[in-house]
Amino acid sequence: MENKARLLVIDDEAGLLKLVRRQAERRGIEVIEAETGRAGLDAAIAESPQLILLDLHLPDMSGLKLLQALKADPRTTHIPVVAWSGGDVEVGSQLMGVCAYFDKADLRQVFDQIFALMPK
């Protein structure tokens, strides 16, 4: 049995989760979903995904706080993180540790870039 690449998507927008899942599964990528920061951190630890797609606006904590927690934990610090947001976000040094940042407005570019980062 082959191991599928796993993508953890941490986002509270159900429609986007569905869209990312559909696009990923077409490429043979397993998707793990989390709708809160706490659930995302737990899933990252339990599932060891190859990549995390992190919304910066979560209902229970800021995506930046979650990013800091992911990078501070030795169980998750090695996992590449792609941050995205639908609103204006000051990115700069606050996003140290992410491998890319995207605005949700350009989903085609987001998908192309995310899936290029996934292991084959």
Domain residue spans in the chain? 6-117
Mean pLDDT for the chain overall? 87
Neighbours of 18 (CB within 10 A): 12
Is domain 6-117 annotated with CATH 3.40.50.300?
no
Cα–Cα distance measured from residue 97 to residue 35, given in angstroms and rounded to the nearest whole number? 21
- 67-119 pLDDT, tens digit per residue, is 999 999 999 999 999 988 876 555 554 567 788 777 777 777 778 888 888 87
